[in-house]
Structure 1
Amino acid sequence: MYLNTPSRRAARRRLVLVWLLVVLGFGLSMLAAWLQGQSNRRHLDAVVRQETQRVAAQVAHQVLRVELGLLGARGAVLTVGWEALTREAFLRYSQSRNLDVEFPGVRGIGVIRRIARAQEADFVARAAADGWPSFAIRALAPHGDERMVIQYIEPVARNREAIGLDIGSEPRRREAALAALRTGRVTLTGPVTLVQAAGQPRAGFLMLLPVYPDARVAADAGQRVERALGWTYAPLAVQEVLQHLDLDTRAYRLRIADVEADQVIPFHDTVSGAAWADNAPQAWLDTAVAGRTWRVALQASPALFARQAQLDPRWVGLGGMLVTLLLAGVLLAYLRAEDHARDLRVERERRAVALQTSRDAVLTSSPP
């Protein structure tokens, strides 16, 4: 019984040391997996933020390049003369441009006139005589202010519904038109439903550039409003404008919203109706676009995770645990070998003592 006690103590010691190693190793493995996951997340967050900045700049560029078309149209209008401008003259100008190539996604470019209520009947008669016999002013809602009427837009084929529309009869369109007059700059409406794209609710915009009697823009906002004759404008369908973005939609979900005060109005989502993980890396950036603030947000997909070639935290943890078990096996074998060697030494010493004791006994019992 007493001879087994050291062996049992040695076995308990081995067991305690091996379990301590296993617990410590597994704990460190889980910590390493967590740290790897955090590192992967930080890397992906940085990638998504960088891509968001690039895409936001591209979105703004895609939209703001339309201003070049409005500037060209304003120049052509002033060259002909505001009062002398005719449908035929505007058609000739539009034929000198290739809108689909120069401004992808733009539905057309047109002219909007400011019409006082007292001049409405005379204006309608002249517009009807100017190549559009059925011309009539149409309002989206009743109002008592001056008219802001779309007289010309090319190409007509895809914008026929817009001719004669009083954009001043709808608050968002009117607000943007007046803002353009006050600032003298190109201005974008908030999200609206284009009359020529009624199947895309609140997914369109009007871009408006004020037209003055000459190229000079008054320094005073009141004078700018008073002197303005109207606008050149372009209707934009968001889906059509943004379809030319350089964006891998398999790796990213793109969402864009119009931000005004405390109101955020989403108007574009590349995966509308699809459920994406809320904890996926994402970033957003507010960017100024022709007098509006657009919030451009990107969210990463699992496809982006795969292409980053990062260590999977699960494999890091599993690898650490396997190494721990290997080390535990080595430690157990070493401790057993050490205990076995110690047992051998103890046995040899015991036998040596026994042998010496027996010799002494023999010598003591021998006759002199």
Structure 2
Amino acid sequence: MASRGRRSIVLGVVVLIGLLSTGAVTSALYDQARDEIAIRFAAAAEDQADRVVEELRRGVAVGEAARAFALASEDVTAEEWEVFIEQLRLGERFPAANGVGLQVAIPAGSEAALEAEARAAGQDGFTVSPAEPVGDVRYVVVYFEPEAVNREAIGFDVRSNPDAFEAAERALQARAPRLSGPTRLVQETGDQAGVVVYLPYIRPGAGTERLVDAGFVTVVFRGDELLSGILSPSGALALEVVDPQGRGPAGDGTVGHASPEGTEDAPVRHQAVLSRQVLGRTWQITVSAVDGYAVEAAAPVITAVLGLLLTGVVALLVSNAQRQEQRAQALADAATADLRASEAELAAANTALEVSNANLKRSNDELSRFAHVASHDLKEPLRMVSGFAGLLETQLHDRLGGDGLTEMERTSLTYIRRGASRMQELITDLLELASLDRSASLRETVDVRAVVDRVLEDLADQMADEGATVEVGPLDPVVVDRRQIGGLVQNLLTNAIKFRRPDVPPVVQVSAVRDGRIWRLDVADNGIGIAEADREVVFEAFRRIHSREEYEGTGIGLAICASVVTAHGGTIHIEDGIDGGTRFTVEIPQPEAPEVEGAGGA
């Protein structure tokens, strides 16, 4: 009896240990599966939020192109605006952007003159609305394409819409694109919310009734359509965007929402609320899992069953060694199956990551292709303008003689050629900026002294004209993309010579030193310097802190420098230079061990 009792106790202990172990393993597997689902959902939610912002920025790129077009033309006509927007192919390339408009600023009281001018140019029925102005300046929409779905917005005074006017004022103050809060668009008949991006343009007036020194290019997005176009291909995620500081048609700041078809009433399995800064606004983006992302119970259940079987096997082993071997083999087979299942899940996760990377590369490739197409489409009419201006001047000179042209006629022809030339320079710099390899993938050891020598040779005429002196210090080699380092040095040295103080010959100091794993390039000058408040914004494209009459240029050179440095994982910042001038410092990480061969020219 005592022996039988001891055997019962041992068997009970074995069974208890088996049950406890099975429960622990089952719980751990369930927790692991749940955590994997949570990680997958979190990554998908971040990707969806980033796609919302990226889709909006792609639409803003359309506005940037339209703003450059408006600045390049002395007075854009409705037909020119329509043709330009058609060439951008919004529906095909940028489906989230529902329209692009042009606004001009006019003084209150000059509405009749603007209406008469527009109607005379073929815009029948053009009327400024509302009739009563708000303030002493009105921001009037003169063109909006595609006109068929935006006709109600033409003639509208944006200042009468508080949400839109607030964004326009912020854009004008910052001289940079700014996003409005959610608002009911004047061209809408329902309660759908929309947002508007305002891109200010500033140029001198030329004897016209309009205050064209301040105007806007606007890009309109309908909230629901913006989100519907970027829903996850899996059909498992719903999106909602809220601007906490906005109002909108619903009064709660809702920008838009979208969910896969047939999932409107589906329960939410996971939810993430993400915050994103978008052109001066803060968006709360709620991503909800309405399908999929459920914890697979098969593995924990199988593990529990196997654990129970193992417990029985272990208990039977007390009296039956033969069955022990048989049950152990079954357990080994089951463990192998679990391992293969885990490997399959890992492979699926890697595939999803590759798909995300491919989507990002495709977006970058589409932007690059757009830059090339826009460059070609914009350069062709500019070449025609410049060519016909020269032909016109030659014909007038031949017909009227050297003194036959009036001063105004000669000046006008000069302005035409100069404007076309500036636009071509701007397009060329834009194309260079868009074509930069953001990964700087082709890295090799570059002889920096050869790069600096070549740049100084190219700048020899400019240095002679300005009486500039360039002092060259030590120039250590660097491991970078050879195609990009020359442009970086060229832009920094050109700026150092160009932004000189009146009657003070430029003095420039350039050196490059490697300190451990950091290569540091310094370019210092004794020029006009850069105020601390402007030392961040000067790296933005088109940001100028001096007028073109004071210093020529497109305002893109430092943006190219920043893009090159960022592509190499480095930093660029500004400090005080020689006698109050400017010092640009570039720091680029280097490999652990520097390459010894390779001083080659760049």
TM-score by structure 1 length? Answer: 0.72
Tell me the amino acid that sits aligned with residue 312 of structure 1.
A
Alpha-carbon distance change, 140 to 29 in structure 1, aligned in 2, over 3 angstroms: farther
Partner-residue secondary structure (3-state), 2:103:
strand
Asked if structure 2 preserves the Cα contact closer than 8 Å seen for 1:140 and 1:169, the reply is: no
Query: Does 2:63 correspond to 1:70?
Result: yes
Question: Counterparts of 1:91-240 in structure 2 under 5 Å?
Answer: 91-139=82-130, 143-144=134-135, 146-199=137-190, 201-202=192-193, 204-213=194-203, 228-240=213-225
Tell me the amino acid that sits aligned with residue 181 of structure 2.
G
Alpha-carbon distance change, 134 to 140 in structure 1, aligned in 2, over 3 angstroms: closer
What's the counterpart of residue 403 of structure 2? none
Alpha-carbon distance change, 229 to 142 in structure 1, aligned in 2, over 3 angstroms: closer
Match of 2:235 among 229, 250, 273: 250
Asked if structure 1 preserves the Cα contact closer than 8 Å seen for 2:67 and 2:217, the reply is: yes
Q: Percent identity?
A: 26
CA distance in 1, matches of 2:60, 2:259: 25
Partner-residue secondary structure (3-state), 1:115:
strand
Alpha-carbon distance change, 318 to 154 in structure 1, aligned in 2, over 3 angstroms: same
What's the counterpart of residue 316 of structure 1? 303
Asked if structure 1 preserves the Cα contact closer than 8 Å seen for 2:243 and 2:253, the reply is: yes
Cα offsets for 1:114-134 (capped at 9, x unmatched): 233232333333333332332
Query: Does 2:311 correspond to 1:328?
Result: no
Tell me the amino acid that sits aligned with residue 220 of structure 2.
P
Cα RMSD, aligned residues only: 3.2
For residue 177 of structure 1, report the CA deviation from its aligned partner.
0.8
Asked if structure 1 preserves the Cα contact closer than 8 Å seen for 2:41 and 2:293, the reply is: no
Cα offsets for 1:240-269 (capped at 9, x unmatched): 3344437234333333333449x8646223
Cα offsets for 1:39-62 (capped at 9, x unmatched): 122222222232233333322221
Cα offsets for 1:288-346 (capped at 9, x unmatched): 2222222334344553447xx89632332232223223323444668xxxxxxxxxxxx
Partner-residue secondary structure (3-state), 2:292:
helix
Cα offsets for 1:53-79 (capped at 9, x unmatched): 333332222111122221222222222
Query: Does 2:30 correspond to 1:45?
Result: no
Question: Counterparts of 1:296-307 in structure 2 under 5 Å?
Answer: 296-300=285-289, 303-305=292-294
Tell me the amino acid that sits aligned with residue 164 of structure 1.
G
Query: Does 2:281 correspond to 1:292?
Result: yes
- Structure having greater relative contact order (Cα 8 Å, sep ≥ 6): 1
CA distance in 2, matches of 1:15, 1:255: 62
Cα offsets for 1:115-156 (capped at 9, x unmatched): 332323333333333323322233499844632221211111
CA distance in 2, matches of 1:193, 1:183: 25
Alpha-carbon distance change, 45 to 110 in structure 1, aligned in 2, over 3 angstroms: same
Partner-residue secondary structure (3-state), 2:88:
coil
What's the counterpart of residue 346 of structure 1? none
Q: Unaligned 5+ residue runs, structure 2? A: 205-210, 247-251, 322-602
Query: Does 2:244 correspond to 1:270?
Result: no
CA distance in 1, matches of 2:301, 2:189: 50
Question: Counterparts of 1:85-96 in structure 2 under 5 Å?
Answer: 85-96=76-87
Asked if structure 2 preserves the Cα contact closer than 8 Å seen for 1:14 and 1:332, the reply is: no
Tell me the amino acid that sits aligned with residue 210 of structure 1.
P
CA distance in 1, matches of 2:43, 2:66: 36
Asked if structure 1 preserves the Cα contact closer than 8 Å seen for 2:227 and 2:258, the reply is: no
For residue 209 of structure 1, report the CA deviation from its aligned partner.
0.3
Asked if structure 1 preserves the Cα contact closer than 8 Å seen for 2:56 and 2:96, the reply is: no
CA distance in 2, matches of 1:140, 1:330: 96
For residue 233 of structure 1, report the CA deviation from its aligned partner.
0.7
Partner-residue secondary structure (3-state), 2:181:
coil
Partner-residue secondary structure (3-state), 1:247:
coil
Partner-residue secondary structure (3-state), 1:320:
helix
Tell me how many residue pairs correspond in the alignment: 309
Asked if structure 2 preserves the Cα contact closer than 8 Å seen for 1:206 and 1:235, the reply is: yes
Larger radius of gyration: 1
